[in-house]
């Protein structure tokens, strides 16, 4: 490992590798396809970046998040390593230049999203690249049995076919045994592949669950008891603003973070927290990936995560420095019901899928057998309005149809236009009075999207707004841009129009080729993950670390001794032990006077500290007293 270690020292400044990193790097250098399961903070990126620098040629890194790609590229550049990222926010010209540099230049790392893998421009260029390693980050996304399955990840198999002899490393922080097997299968790992897994136990992390009627009050208790940096996860973007404001009012410095903020805002808020200018970061689950802040003392969840995989990944951002830290879930009974309902809604029935597909066929007036490979502009709000469909259920149904390989959406479908009102309500009203030509548009925005526009970036549909205002979409967009220029709103249009592509010819909806068995299995899987999460928080008799290890297929008979369940059990055991010890002390002292040393020698307690504390307590409470020569005796009754 001398070469690898010298690279680690040169670029990362570390004198030694963390556990399992040397073995994983050796496996790659030996030419093996490799799966690495390292918990959050376990140093996954080093496992492909170090061998990527050692191997000849380019390392292609597939990652699901643009923000994470940008962070890693900037981090590598700061070390003097040439890295680039290709993503949907870039122009074709930028992408063209970056890909050319990967062929003819000295680029060592090319980061891209899985959606880019089947684009014509990439497929043609990658054939000309000298690729030495393929790294798949967040590899659990490739498995339909995982908690965050993304159909686009299945495109990675086509890259494997283009580059059959290139070694591949897949990395994830959390995967069940079923998901591990699926990753190996879907990525077509070659014979002799190796799997490395670090224990899911975290020696310095205490898992704590608090059931309460008042979540904010319980949160304040936790923040007062434990000092140091904090991450608080909240499900809603609006909730991050409100809680952050409340904490600031109570003298706890706080900032918030969610995907609706501009890039500049996200960077600024993140920096303030990383540099300890703000103690608490209140965030949605958009925050955390790629954040390397080792001294986080508390990660608190005020809403129940959907599964143990995402919870463990988020909780694992506490205590990366090896010092004691706490992962706290604060919940109300209604949170369990909410999670159950949300889980049920995320898995639409076959009837709903057929109805949604038929509506799509009617929407585009497609005859049976037509439409294969054709793409159409798609607006979810207009679609739902036309057929009187519920938007949330329809969105989930469309994603299922995409998973089934019947349709496909472009990236803009998942990143539509957003609007945020940049002034307060008083200023907005004054503007409406003075500029009545904009009054109908502002009223329509408020009627459709409500007060969240003031606190958050809110997804909008320009065509739906235009329809409501009986104007052309182009005119509506011009009006939004004008309001943006006047600094009344912040309008961020989608990079391109959301589109839907029919992958197979239009089918008869009643005979839709759905894999019903797989859909039912997927539904059962999602429900089982939800039940595992609710069992984790409602259980009062099993060590919480043990529950997590068991979930990830790691058999153990060791309890952590640090979670709230283990501590409560210790208290009960100590209480029984104390009662027994108290009775023994009184019995002996009644029959004979003892110094504390003599009494300790006679009893020979298993815990000397506990014995001494108990004697002091009994003296303080008047159950025992000392005579003139410091012997213990029972006080004479007055």
For residue 235, what is the domain's CATH number? 3.40.50.300
Distance CA 235, CA 244 (A): 14
Q: What are phi and psi of 263, to 5 degrees?
A: -60, -40
Judge if 505 and 620 occupy the same domain.
Answer: no
Does residue 590 belong to any structural domain of this protein?
A: yes
Judge if 427 and 360 occupy the same domain.
Answer: no
Of how many residues is the chain composed?
638
Q: Interhelix angle for 391-403 vs 350-363, to 10°? A: 90
Query: How is residue 406 written in tokens?
Result: 């019947």
Residue 226 makes CB contacts below 8 A (sequence gap 6+) with 297, 298, 326
Does residue 557 belong to any structural domain of this protein?
A: no
- Note whether 468 and 486 are within 8 A (CB): no
Distance CA 619, CA 617 (A): 5
Distance CA 450, CA 345 (A): 23
- Note whether 538 and 336 are within 8 A (CB): yes
Residue 373 makes CB contacts below 8 A (sequence gap 6+) with 501, 502, 503
Does residue 525 belong to any structural domain of this protein?
A: no
How do beta strands 280-283 and 230-233 pair?
A: parallel
Secondary structure element (H or E) that encloses residue 170, with its range: strand 167-172
Judge if 20 and 156 occupy the same domain.
Answer: yes
Does residue 445 belong to any structural domain of this protein?
A: yes
Q: Considering its fold, how many domains does the chain have in total? A: 5
Does residue 337 belong to any structural domain of this protein?
A: no
Judge if 380 and 400 occupy the same domain.
Answer: yes
What's the pLDDT score for residue 93? 86
Distance CA 250, CA 418 (A): 32
Judge if 401 and 288 occupy the same domain.
Answer: no
What's the pLDDT score for residue 290? 65
Judge if 39 and 142 occupy the same domain.
Answer: yes
Question: 562: closest CA among 573, 570, 553?
Answer: 570
Q: What is the 3-state secondary structure (H, E, C) of 192-244?
A: CCEEEECCCCCCCEEEEEEECCCHHHHHHHHHHHCCCCEEEECCCHHHHHHHH
Roughly how many angstroms between the first and final C-alpha of the chain, as a whole number?
Answer: 78
What's the pLDDT score for residue 492? 86
Judge if 117 and 186 occupy the same domain.
Answer: yes
Question: 411: closest CA among 115, 149, 139, 67?
Answer: 115
Name the DSSP letter for residue 102: H
Does residue 600 belong to any structural domain of this protein?
A: yes
Residues of the chain with pLDDT under 70: 1-2, 41-42, 89, 290, 638
In the chain, the largest separation of any two C-alpha atoms, in whole Å, equals: 105
Judge if 64 and 120 occupy the same domain.
Answer: yes
Residue 30 makes CB contacts below 8 A (sequence gap 6+) with none
Distance CA 485, CA 479 (A): 10
Return the exposure string of 477-486: e unless at least 16 CB atoms fall within 10 Å of the residue's CB, then b.
bebbebbbee
Distance CA 22, CA 16 (A): 9
- Note whether 184 and 24 are within 8 A (CB): no
Does residue 523 belong to any structural domain of this protein?
A: no
Give the domain range for residue 94: 2-197
Give the three-class secondary structure for 587.
helix
Does residue 521 belong to any structural domain of this protein?
A: no
Q: Interhelix angle for 237-249 vs 215-225, to 10°? A: 60
Judge if 247 and 311 occupy the same domain.
Answer: yes
Judge if 505 and 458 occupy the same domain.
Answer: no
How do beta strands 109-112 and 58-62 pair?
A: parallel
What's the pLDDT score for residue 262? 75
How do beta strands 632-633 and 625-626 pair?
A: antiparallel
CATH code assigned at 353: 1.10.10.10
Residue 242 makes CB contacts below 8 A (sequence gap 6+) with 455
Residue identified by tokens 């012997």 is 631
Residue 108 CB-density burial (10 A; 0-12 exposed, 13-18 middle, 19+ buried): buried
What's the pLDDT score for residue 84? 94
Judge if 476 and 604 occupy the same domain.
Answer: no
Is-above-0.85 flag for pTM?
Answer: no
Judge if 189 and 305 occupy the same domain.
Answer: no
């Amino acid at each position: 490992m001398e070469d690898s270690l010298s690279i680690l020292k040169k670029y990362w400044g570390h004198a030694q590798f963390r556990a399992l990193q040397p073995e994983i790097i050796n496996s790659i250098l030996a030419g093996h396809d490799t799966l690495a399961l390292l918990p959050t903070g376990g140093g996954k990126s080093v496992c492909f970046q170090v061998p990527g620098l050692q191997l000849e040629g380019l390392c292609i890194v597939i990652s699901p998040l643009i923000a994470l790609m940008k962070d890693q590229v900037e981090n590598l550049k700061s070390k003097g390593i040439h890295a680039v990222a290709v993503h949907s926010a870039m122009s074709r010209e930028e992408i063209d230049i970056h890909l050319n540099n990967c062929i003819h230049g000295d680029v060592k790392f090319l980061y891209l999203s899985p959606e880019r893998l089947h684009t014509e421009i990439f497929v043609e260029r990658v054939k000309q690249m000298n690729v030495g390693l393929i790294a798949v980050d967040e590899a659990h996304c490739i498995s339909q049995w995982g908690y965050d399955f993304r159909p686009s990840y299945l495109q990675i198999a086509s890259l494997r076919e283009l580059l059959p002899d290139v070694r591949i490393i897949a990395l994830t922080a959390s995967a069940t045994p079923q998901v591990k097997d699926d990753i190996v299968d879907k990525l077509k790992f070659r014979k002799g592949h190796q799997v490395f897994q670090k224990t899911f136990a975290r020696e310095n992390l205490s898992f704590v669950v608090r059931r309460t009627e008042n979540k904010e009050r319980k949160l304040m208790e936790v923040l007062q008891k434990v000092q140091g940096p904090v991450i608080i996860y909240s499900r809603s973007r609006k909730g991050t603003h409100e809680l952050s404001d409340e904490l600031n009012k109570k003298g706890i410095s706080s900032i918030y973070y969610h995907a609706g903020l501009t890039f500049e805002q996200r960077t600024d808020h993140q920096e303030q927290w990383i540099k300890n200018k703000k103690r608490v970061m209140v965030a949605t689950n958009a925050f955390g990936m790629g954040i390397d802040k080792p001294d986080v003392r508390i990660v608190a969840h005020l809403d129940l995560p959907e599964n143990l995989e995402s919870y463990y990944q988020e909780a694992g951002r506490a205590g990366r420095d090896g010092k004691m830290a706490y992962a706290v879930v604060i919940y109300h009974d209604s949170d369990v019901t909410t999670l159950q309902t949300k889980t049920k809604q995320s898995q639409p029935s076959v009837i709903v899928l057929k109805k949604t597909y038929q509506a799509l066929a009617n929407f585009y007036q497609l005859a049976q057998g037509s439409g294969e490979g054709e793409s159409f502009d798609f607006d979810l709000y207009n679609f739902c309005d036309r057929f009187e469909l519920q938007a949330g259920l329809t969105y989930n149904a469309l994603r299922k149809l995409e998973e089934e390989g019947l349709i496909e959406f472009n990236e803009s479908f998942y990143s539509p236009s957003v609007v945020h009102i940049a002034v307060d309500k008083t200023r907005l009203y004054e503007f409406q009075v003075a500029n009545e030509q904009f009054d109908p548009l502002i009223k329509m925005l408020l009627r459709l999207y409500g007060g969240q526009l003031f606190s958050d970036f809110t997804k909008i549909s320009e065509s739906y707004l235009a329809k409501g205002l009986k104007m052309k979409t182009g005119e509506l967009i011009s009006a939004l841009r004008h309001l943006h220029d006047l600094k009344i709103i912040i309008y961020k249009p989608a990079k391109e129009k959301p589109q839907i592509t029919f992958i197979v010819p239009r089918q008869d909806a009643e005979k839709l080729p759905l894999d019903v068995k797989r859909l039912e299995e997927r539904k059962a899987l999602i429900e089982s993950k939800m039940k595992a999460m609710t069992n984790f928080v409602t259980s009062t008799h099993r060590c919480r670390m043990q529950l997590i290890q068991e979930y990830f297929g790691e058999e153990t008979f060791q309890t952590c001794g640090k979670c709230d369940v283990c501590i409560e059990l210790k208290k009960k055991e100590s209480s029984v032990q104390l009662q027994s010890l108290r009775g023994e002390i009184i019995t002996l002292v009644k029959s004979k006077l003892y110094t504390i040393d003599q009494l300790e020698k006679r009893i020979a307690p298993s815990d000397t500290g506990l014995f001494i504390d108990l004697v002091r307590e009994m003296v303080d409470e008047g159950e025992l007293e000392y005579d003139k020569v410091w012997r213990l005796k029972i006080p004479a009754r007055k």
